[in-house]
C-alpha cells in the first residue's frame, strides 16, 4: 500500500487514506509522507458526505470486501471517479487451496467455479474500472477460468529499488546463524507453515544439525503457537520482531513451507532484500521469479525440503550463489522504475477512456444494476437499523 501511495504521489496525486479501523500501536505514520488520514464508518451515509466534500478523481479499494462495502456509495456520489481494486491476492484461490489441503487432495478449477467467495471477488473485479494484480498466475486464472477481459486487469508486483551485493552491507555467511520463519499468525497460511515446520520439517533438519535453532517470528501469536516454543528442541517461538529486516539479516536461511495461499510472499522478497537464501514450496515461490533461478530451493516433499535447507546452511559457496540469485530476482522482477512507468502509462490511458471502457464492460454494468446490488441493500438495511436503534435509545 505504501508503494502504491508513493506511485500515485509521483504522478502528482494528493492522497487521502480513508479507513474504518481504529489506530494501532504499530501503524505507519502517514502524515510523514504527506498523506491525509480519515476515519470512516461502515454502513453509514456519512461516507457519502465525506466523498461529496472530497470529490476524488480516483478511488482505490483495498481488497474486494472494501469494494463491496463502499463501491456503490462511490458510484452514487462520485460517478466520474475512476474505481480501482487492489486485490493483493485472489482470496478465492487461497480459500480453495486451503479446503483442498484439509481434504488431502489437489485443488481443481471446479473448486474455484463453485466457490461463493469467487463469485463475490470476480463480481467486484468486474464492477471496477481496473484491477491491480500482483501475480501472473492469478491473472491467467481470471482470464482462463472466469473469462475476465484482460483490459480490466493490470499486473503490478512489488516496486523495489535495485540492489547490488557490493553496496548491500549484509552480514557475511560466517556472521549469520540459525533458521528463521516469519509471518503474521492471523494469516492462516502462516500458521499452517509454522505447524508444518514444527511437526514435520524441523525434526528432519534437527536430526542432521543437532545444534541448530529454528526462530519463529510473528505478531498476534495465539496460545496454541506459543505452546510450540521448545528451546530443548531448538524450536523458538519469539513473537513480534521489532524490525523484520534486522532478524532476517541475522539468519542464515529463511524457511517458508507454505502449503496453501495466493499472491506473492512478502517474507520471501524481504529475504532476498536482506541477502538471505530461502527454502520454500511451489506455492510459496509461485509467480515470484519468472524463469529465473530461485535464491535457494523450491521443494514440496518434506525430506527434500529439509535436505536442501541443511545443504545450503552448511555450504558457504552454495549459500553465496543463492544470495546472488536473490539479487537477480529483485532487480529483474520487481524493478520499481520499469513497473511504475508501465503502470502509469496503462492507468492514464484507461483514465482518458473511462466512459468508453465502461460501455465496453457490459457485465460490470449489469452487476451494478439495482437488481444485482445485494451488498448495497444489505448495507442500507443496516444503516436504517442503526438509525432506528439510535432513535429508540
- Looking at residue 371, its pLDDT comes to 62
Reply yes or no on whether the pLDDT at 218 is more than 90. yes
**What DSSP string runs through 257-296?**
---S--S--HHHHHHHHTT--EEE-HHHHTTSSTTSPPSE
Q: Under DSSP, is residue 90 helix (H, G, I), strand (E, B) or coil?
A: coil
Mean pLDDT of the chain: 95
On whether the CB atoms of residues 242 and 217 are closer than 8 A, the answer is: no
pLDDT of 372 reads 65
2-160+337-392: which CATH topology?
A: Rossmann fold (3.40.50)
Residue 154, SS3?
A: strand
More confident position, 83 or 382: 83
Q: What CATH class is the domain 179-334? A: alpha beta
Assess whether the region 2-160+337-392 and the region 179-334 belong to the same CATH fold: yes
How high is the pLDDT of residue 118?
A: 97
Number of Cβ atoms within 10 Å of the Cβ of 164: 8
Cβ within 8 Å of residue 323, ≥6 positions away: 165, 170, 275, 276, 277, 295
Q: For residue range 96-145, list pLDDT tens digits in order.
A: 999 999 999 999 999 999 999 999 999 999 999 999 999 999 999 999 99
Q: Where are the alpha helices (DSSP H) in 78-222?
A: 91-102, 109-113, 116-127, 136-144, 188-196, 202-208
- Which pLDDT score is estimated for 374? 76
Cβ contacts of 310 within 8 Å, gap of 6 or more: 205, 208, 209
Question: At a CB cut-off of 8 Å and minimum separation 6, what does 10 contact?
Answer: 340, 344
Q: Is pLDDT of 353 > 80?
A: yes
Ranges of each domain in the chain:
2-160+337-392, 179-334
Q: Is the pTM of this model over 0.75?
A: yes
Residue 303 pLDDT > 70: yes
Torsion over CA of 337, 339, 340 and 345, rounded to 10 degrees? 120
Q: What is the pLDDT of residues 262-279, one digit of tens each?
A: 999 999 999 999 999 999
% of the chain residues with pLDDT over 70: 99
What are the backbone angles phi and psi of residue 24, rounded to the nearest 5°? -125, 165
Q: Which three cell numbers stand for residue 228?
A: 510450540
Give the model's pLDDT for residue 393. Answer: 67
370 pLDDT higher than 90? no
- Is a pLDDT exceeding 80 seen at residue 375? no
- 10 Å CB burial of residue 52 (0-12, 13-18, 19+) is exposed
Amino acid at each position: 500500500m505504501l508503494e502504491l501511495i508513493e506511485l500515485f504521489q509521483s504522478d502528482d496525486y494528493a492522497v487521502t487514506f480513508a479507513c474504518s479501523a481504529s489506530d494501532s500501536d504499530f501503524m505507519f505514520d502517514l502524515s510523514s509522507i504527506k498523506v491525509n488520514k480519515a476515519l470512516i464508518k461502515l454502513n453509514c451515509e456519512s461516507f457519502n458526505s465525506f466523498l461529496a466534500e472530497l470529490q476524488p478523481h480516483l478511488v482505490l479499494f483495498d481488497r474486494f470486501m472494501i469494494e463491496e462495502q463502499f463501491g456503490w456509495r462511490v458510484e452514487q456520489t462520485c460517478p466520474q471517479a475512476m474505481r480501482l481494486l487492489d486485490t493483493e491476492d485472489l482470496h478465492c484461490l487461497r480459500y480453495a487451496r486451503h479446503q483442498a489441503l484439509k481434504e488431502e487432495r489437489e485443488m481443481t478449477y471446479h473448486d474455484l467455479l463453485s466457490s461463493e467467495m469467487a463469485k463475490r471477488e470476480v463480481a467486484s473485479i468486474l464492477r471496477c474500472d481496473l484491477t491491480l494484480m500482483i501475480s501472473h498466475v492469478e491473472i491467467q486464472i481470471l482470464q482462463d477460468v472466469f473469462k475476465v477481459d484482460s483490459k480490466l486487469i493490470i499486473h503490478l508486483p512489488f516496486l523495489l529499488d535495485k540492489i547490488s551485493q557490493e553496496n548491500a552491507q549484509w552480514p557475511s555467511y560466517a556472521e549469520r546463524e540459525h533458521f528463521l520463519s516469519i509471518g503474521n499468525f492471523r494469516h492462516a497460511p502462516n500458521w499452517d507453515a509454522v505447524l508444518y515446520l514444527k511437526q514435520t520439517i524441523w525434526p528432519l533438519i534437527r536430526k542432521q544439525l543437532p545444534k541448530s535453532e529454528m526462530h519463529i517470528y510473528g505478531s498476534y501469536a495465539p496460545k496454541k503457537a506459543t505452546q510450540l516454543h521448545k528451546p530443548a528442541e531448538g524450536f523458538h517461538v519469539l513473537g513480534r520482531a521489532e524490525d523484520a529486516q534486522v532478524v532476517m539479516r541475522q539468519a542464515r536461511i529463511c524457511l517458508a513451507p507454505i502449503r496453501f495461499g495466493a499472491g506473492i510472499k512478502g517474507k520471501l522478497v524481504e529475504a532476498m532484500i536482506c541477502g538471505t537464501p530461502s527454502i520454500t514450496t511451489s506455492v510459496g515461490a509461485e509467480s515470484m521469479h519468472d524463469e529465473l533461478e530461485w535464491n535457494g530451493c523450491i521443494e514440496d516433499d518434506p525430506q527434500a525440503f529439509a535436505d536442501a535447507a541443511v545443504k545450503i546452511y552448511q555450504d558457504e559457496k552454495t549459500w553465496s550463489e543463492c544470495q546472488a540469485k536473490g539479487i537477480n530476482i529483485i532487480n529483474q522482477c520487481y524493478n520499481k522504475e520499469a513497473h511504475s512507468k508501465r503502470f502509469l502509462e496503462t492507468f492514464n490511458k484507461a483514465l482518458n477512456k473511462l466512459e468508453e471502457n465502461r460501455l465496453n464492460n457490459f457485465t460490470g454494468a449489469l452487476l451494478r444494476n439495482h437488481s444485482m446490488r445485494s451488498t448495497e441493500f444489505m448495507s442500507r438495511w443496516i444503516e436504517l437499523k442503526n438509525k432506528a436503534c439510535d432513535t429508540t435509545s
